[in-house]
C-alpha cells in the first residue's frame, strides 16, 4: 500500500471513530447539555495548547500557557452559564449574569498576565508574550466556545450541523480539487502550493452542501432555516471564512516552522488542524443568526 493510500485510510478511520462522538455532544441534551460544554472544553483547550507550543520562542518570548489554559476553562464555563442559565435555573444563583461577565473575565485575565509580565519576567519579549497569549485566548477559545451559545438557540442543533457540514465539505473538496485539478497556484505567501481550482471546488461544494442540507431540513424535519438565496450566499460566505481560518493557522504554523499543529488525531495531525476553519466560522455564523432574529 502506498503512503498516500495508507494516510488516506488512517484519516478515514480516525473520522469514523471521532465524528460520532463529536456529533453526539452536539445533539444530546443529556445532563443539562453538559456534553456540549465538554466538547468545547476539549477542542478549545487542545487547540490552545497546540497554539502555545507553536508560538513558544524561549528567550524571545513565551506565551503564558498555564494561565491561558486556566482562563480558557473559565471562559467556556461562563459561556455555558450564559447560554443555559435561565433554562436550567442557574440564574437563581447569578441573577445579574449577562454577557458582561465574559468581558470581566477577559479584563481580569489581561490584568493578571500584565502583572506576571511586569514582576516575573524580563522586559525582552514582553510584547510578544502578552500578544500571543491574548490572541490565542480570544481567537481560539472565545471563538470556538460560541458552539455553546449556538446550541442554546432555537433549532441550535440544526444550525451547528449545517455549519459543520458546509465547512467540512468545503475543506475536503478544496483538498481533493487541488490534488486532482490544481494547476494555477494562488501565490499566497502563507500557503503558496494551494490552487485556485481547489478553492473553487471547495466553494462549489460549500454552496451545494448548504442548499441541500437546508432542503433536507425543510423536506424531512419541517425546519425552514434559510430561503434559497440566503442559503447560497451563506454557502459562499462560510467557504470564505473557513478558508481564512485555515490560512490563519497556516500562517502561525509557518512562522513556527511547524507542519502540523500536533499529532493527537492520526492522519489529520493536531486538533487545530481539524477545527481551524470552524474556529473562525462559529462566531461569525452565530452573530449572523442573532442579527437575523434567532433566539
Residue 85 reports pLDDT greater than 70: yes
Higher per-residue pLDDT: 16 or 204:
204
Give the whole-angstrom CA distance, residue 75 versus residue 59.
29
pLDDT tens readout for residues 197-214? 888 889 999 999 999 999
Q: Are 61 and 132 in contact (CB under 8 A)?
A: yes
Q: In which band, very low, low, confident or very high, does the pLDDT at 98 lie, cut at 50, 70 and 90?
A: low
pTM reported for the whole predicted model:
0.91
pLDDT tens readout for residues 225-283? 999 999 999 999 999 999 999 999 999 999 888 888 888 887 778 999 999 999 989 99
SS3 of residue 64 by DSSP: coil
Give the whole-angstrom CA distance, residue 212 versus residue 79.
31
Give the whole-angstrom CA distance, residue 3 versus residue 286.
39
- If one counts every other C-beta atom within 10 angstroms of the C-beta of residue 188, the result is 13
If 0-12 CB within 10 Å is exposed, 13-18 middle and 19+ buried, where does residue 254 land?
A: middle
DSSP annotation of 60? G
Q: In which band, very low, low, confident or very high, does the pLDDT at 6 lie, cut at 50, 70 and 90?
A: low
Phi, psi of 185 (to 5 degrees): -70, 145
Helix (H) or strand (E) holding 73: helix 65-88
Residue 96 reports pLDDT greater than 60: no
Cell of 225: 432555516
> Which pLDDT belongs to residue 99?
65
SS3 of residue 203 by DSSP: helix
Amino acid at each position: 500500500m502506498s503512503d498516500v493510500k495508507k494516510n488516506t485510510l488512517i484519516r478515514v478511520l480516525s473520522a469514523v471513530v471521532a465524528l460520532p462522538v463529536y456529533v453526539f455532544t452536539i445533539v444530546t441534551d443529556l445532563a443539562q447539555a453538559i456534553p456540549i460544554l465538554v466538547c468545547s472544553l476539549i477542542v478549545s483547550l487542545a487547540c490552545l495548547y497546540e497554539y502555545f507550543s507553536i508560538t513558544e520562542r524561549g528567550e524571545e518570548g513565551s506565551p503564558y500557557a498555564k494561565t491561558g489554559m486556566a482562563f480558557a476553562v473559565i471562559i467556556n464555563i461562563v459561556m455555558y452559564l450564559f447560554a443555559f442559565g435561565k433554562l436550567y435555573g442557574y440564574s437563581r444563583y447569578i441573577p445579574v449574569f449577562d454577557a458582561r461577565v465574559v468581558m470581566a473575565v477577559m479584563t481580569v485575565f489581561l490584568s493578571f498576565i500584565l502583572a506576571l509580565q511586569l514582576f516575573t519576567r524580563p522586559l525582552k519579549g514582553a510584547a510578544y508574550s502578552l500578544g500571543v497569549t491574548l490572541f490565542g485566548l480570544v481567537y481560539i477559545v472565545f471563538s470556538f466556545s460560541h458552539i455553546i451559545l449556538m446550541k442554546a438557540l432555537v433549532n441550535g442543533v440544526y444550525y451547528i450541523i449545517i455549519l459543520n457540514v458546509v465547512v467540512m465539505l468545503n475543506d475536503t473538496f478544496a483538498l481533493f480539487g487541488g490534488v486532482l485539478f490544481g494547476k494555477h497556484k494562488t501565490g499566497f505567501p502563507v500557503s503558496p502550493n494551494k490552487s485556485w481550482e481547489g478553492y473553487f471546488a471547495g466553494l462549489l461544494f460549500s454552496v451545494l452542501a448548504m442548499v441541500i442540507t437546508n432542503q433536507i431540513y425543510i423536506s424531512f424535519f419541517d425546519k425552514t432555516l434559510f430561503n434559497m438565496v440566503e442559503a447560497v450566499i451563506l454557502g459562499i460566505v462560510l467557504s470564505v471564512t473557513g478558508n481564512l481560518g485555515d490560512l490563519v493557522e497556516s500562517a502561525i504554523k509557518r512562522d513556527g516552522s511547524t507542519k502540523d499543529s500536533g499529532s493527537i488525531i492520526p492522519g489529520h495531525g493536531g486538533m487545530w488542524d481539524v477545527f481551524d476553519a470552524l474556529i473562525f466560522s462559529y462566531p461569525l455564523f452565530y452573530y449572523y443568526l442573532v442579527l437575523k432574529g434567532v433566539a
